[in-house]
Amino acid sequence: MSRNFLWGSATAAYQCEGGWREGNKGLSNWDVFCHSEKNDVNPVTGDVACDHYHRYEEDIRMLAEGGQNAYRFSIAWTRILPTGVGERNREGIDFYNRLIDTCLQYQVEPLVTLYHYDLPQPLFEAGGWENRRIVEQYLEYARICFEEFGDRVKYWVTINEPNYETLCCYGYGNYPPNVQSLERRWRAMYHMMLASARAVSLYRELGNQGMIGLVSDSYPIVAGDISPECEKAVRKAELFFNLCVNDVCVKGSYPEDFLEQLKEDGYDLSYMLSEDLEVFAKGTVDYLGINAYNRYIAEPCEGDGTNLKANNKGNGENEKFQIGGWFSLGEDKNMEKTPWGMEICPQSIYDLLMTLKELYPRTPVIITENGVGNYDEPVEGQIHDAYRIDYLNGYVDWIEKAMEDGCDVRGYFVWSTMDVYSWINGYKKRYGLVYIDYDSEELRRIPKDSYYWYKNKIQEKGMKFHG
């Protein structure tokens, strides 16, 4: 394979495609949730979103004209298998064939995610990722995608963010099934990791020649102070956010102290079967995808309680995050933050990459998402997002520093290619390099200042980043 550095941007199917009833597509858990009374924080849907389903050629052309040579997108399981199982849907397969072929027409490398939050509703109703049967169902779906698209797709992602998705589903409770139960979270995440390992092994058994990995939202975690109590909190935060995913997919096993903590919490772990140990050991990834946004400051718990509340209103107010018996998260009041409470700290990517280099020295990294969401408004038909440029510029420069210091980074993807539906945050929280005018009937695309900055940055860094 070419070792050219991947300079790209990313989207996910439900967040950008629209066409929710077209092409014989089935209903996903997000289709149903967004049309239910539970969707009461920012009650909008992804029914149309950016209309990427019809506008993909324009979007990929703009991406390529912006100097990008790679596009990360996800496949909607419901377009391939409308009910999650059964006969493959040719209309959905044909859509992704057109999308992939368009990427290649514009010399854009497709990096394809098999699962990015949107689960076929019948599987969701049967327990979703909490039900072990989903591992075989996912594997059949993955097999179809490898068979249909593997001749042209050379970079694959099995699962997007097992940590963050399950934290939202079963911690904050703001994603379907909208419950708060960490015990159910660990069960669902376990089956995600098992499905990922099985898919990695299947990919190799089928003789594919590309690279397959998992995407993990990972965080550099620092201690609130130099006390031994804070150091213990850092370790537990590492287990909770990072190692419960990264160790499993890279090393092929769970950290012992993670399992001990779950036992100490009194959780039923009967779903962890002994025969799975070999599955995890065999299904280690070719690369680790990292969605990098911010860092965490770990401190000891204040009492025994757990407090999980998300800031989905963009009002700058964050609740105290605490996992009883594990850790709490502190705050550096001197750091700039977005209205959604995300700290702006580009140097954190260097610290994270150096940690990954130490933990997993033989596993390459691709930065599969990096970006910042905020309120963007046109001024005389233009979008001046200097804050985004500053943020992304800092990240790219610190990634370069990490590469110079020995971290094997193979690619960088900005989140997101264009403004997309931002899950429970709706449409006002914008991440895109391209502005989508949702008030216009034609969903007009307007490149932001950051789009042009990124094109220039790729030209500036391009040759230096090529391996």
Structure tokens at 353: 């990459």
What's the N-to-C CA distance of the chain in angstroms? 11
3-state helix, strand, coil in the chain (%, to 5): 40, 15, 40
Distance, CA of 47 to CA of 88 (rounded, Å):
22
Distance, CA of 406 to CA of 396 (rounded, Å):
15
Distance, CA of 371 to CA of 387 (rounded, Å):
11
CA distances in angstroms from 202 to 146, 194, 221, listed in the order given: 9, 12, 34
Catalytic residue chosen out of the listed positions 130, 161, 165, 299: 161
Contact at 8 Å (CB) between 285 and 309?
no
Distance, CA of 350 to CA of 463 (rounded, Å):
21
Distance, CA of 445 to CA of 438 (rounded, Å):
9
Distance, CA of 145 to CA of 141 (rounded, Å):
6
DSSP 416-442: -SS----GGGTTSSB--SEEE-TTSTT
Catalytic residue chosen out of the listed positions 17, 148, 299, 369: 369
Residue 369 annotated among the catalytic residues of the structure: yes
Distance, CA of 388 to CA of 373 (rounded, Å):
8
Which residue numbers are catalytic?
161, 369
